[in-house]
Amino acid sequence: MEPLRIGILGAARIAGRAIVEPAKLTGARLVAVAARDTGRAEAFAAEHGVERVHASYQQLLDDPEIEAIYNPLANGLHGPWNLRALAAGKHVLTEKPSTSNASEAREVRDAVHSSGQVFMEAFHYAYHPVMRRLQELVSKGELGDLQTVETTMVMPPPPDDDPRWSLPLAGGAVMDVGCYALHAQRMFAPYAGGAPTLISARAGERKRLPGVDEWLNADLEFPNGATGVVRTSMAAEDVEFSLKVVGSRGEAFAPFYVLPQKDDRVIVTTNEDTWVEHLGTKTSYTYQLEAFTGAIRNGAPLLTDADDALATMELIDACYVAAGMAPRPVSAI
C-alpha cells in the first residue's frame, strides 16, 4: 500500500505520540509541518524527521504532495482548519473534539459529505482491542443483559494559562477529557437499543473563568433501560481514565481504557469467576492511523467519522445546557 503523505498543522506536544510514532510504525510519510512560530516548526521537523516546513497553515494545505492532514491545534481551531483542509481537497484526521459545538460539527459533516474526503475524529481508544473486547463482552451476552456503563475521566488541573482553560478556544473539562467519557457511552448504543439520552448534568466553573467547566457529571439512559454514568474533571488529585460495564451476570473493568498502551487490562468478574485479560500494548494511536489509512486507500468504514462526531457534539452541547452553561463558542481563525 502506498505510504500515506501527511501534513501536520501545528507543532503540538501530542503530535509526537499521536502521529509521529504511528507514522514510523505504519510507514506513512510526514511530508510537512507548519506552526505559528516557524522556528518551533523547524525544531519539530528536525526532531521528528518531517521532510519540510511551511511558513503558514494555509501554505501547508496548498502543498500538492500532501494528501491528508493531522490537526492537533487548540480545540477552537479544529473546526475552522478542518473546513479549510476539506476545501483544499485533503483528508482529515483531527484531534477531538473535532469542532467547538454541534452547529459547527454539522457544517463540517456537510462539507465532508460534499467533498468526498475521509474525515476521522481522533477517539483513538475506539480502535484498540481493549475497547473492542469490552463491546464483545456485552454483544455476546457474557455479562448478561447490559445494565450500566460507567465512564470516568478525571485528571489534575493544567496550568492556569493552558489553552484548555480558554473559553474562546473552546476549553473546559468536558472538551478536554469529558468528551472521551461521553463518546465511550455512545460506543455501547448498538447493544442497548440505540444511543443514550441525557437525563441530567451538573457542572462547576473554574474559579475566575466564567463559563469554563472545571468538572461535569452526567446521567444517561439507553433505550433498553440501561443507565450511563459519566464523571469528568480537570481538578482532581490523581488521574483516572476508567470504564466499567455492568451486566446482569457480571461486570468488566478497564482501568485505563483511553490509553491502553499504558495498561491493557480488562478485568472480568462474573457470578462464577474473576479473571484478567491483557489485550496488548500496541498503541491506540497506531491502530487509529492504520484505520485512517485503510479508509483512504481501501474505503474501509470508520467508527469515528463526521456523522459520529456530530452525534458526540450534540451530546456535549446537551450536557452544557443541562448543567446551566452555554455550548462552546465558534472561534475565529
Residues with a known catalytic role: 96
The Cα–Cα gap between 325 and 210 comes to 10
Q: Rounded distance, CA 182 to CA 228, Å?
A: 9
Contact status, residue 91 vs residue 67, Cβ threshold 8 Å = yes
In 3D space, the residue among 287, 290, 282 whose CA is nearest the CA of residue 3 turns out to be 290
The three cell numbers of residue 31 are: 511530508
Taking Cα atoms as reference points, which of 7, 1, 202 lies closest to residue 93? 7
DSSP state of 101: S
Q: Torsion over CA of 281, 248, 141 and 224, rounded to 10 degrees?
A: -100
Confirm if 291 and 300 have CB atoms less than 8 A apart. Answer: yes
Q: How would DSSP label each residue in 258-316?
A: TSTTT--EEEEEESS-EEEEE---S-HHHHHHHHHHHHHHH----TT-HHHHHHHHHHH
Round to whole Å and give the CA distance between 54 and 244.
Answer: 44
All residues at 6 or more sequence positions from 229 whose CB lies less than 8 Å from its CB, including other chains: 148, 149, 150, 151, 218, 219, 220
What would the grid cell of residue 155 be?
Answer: 485528571
Q: Specify the amino acid at residue 67.
A: E
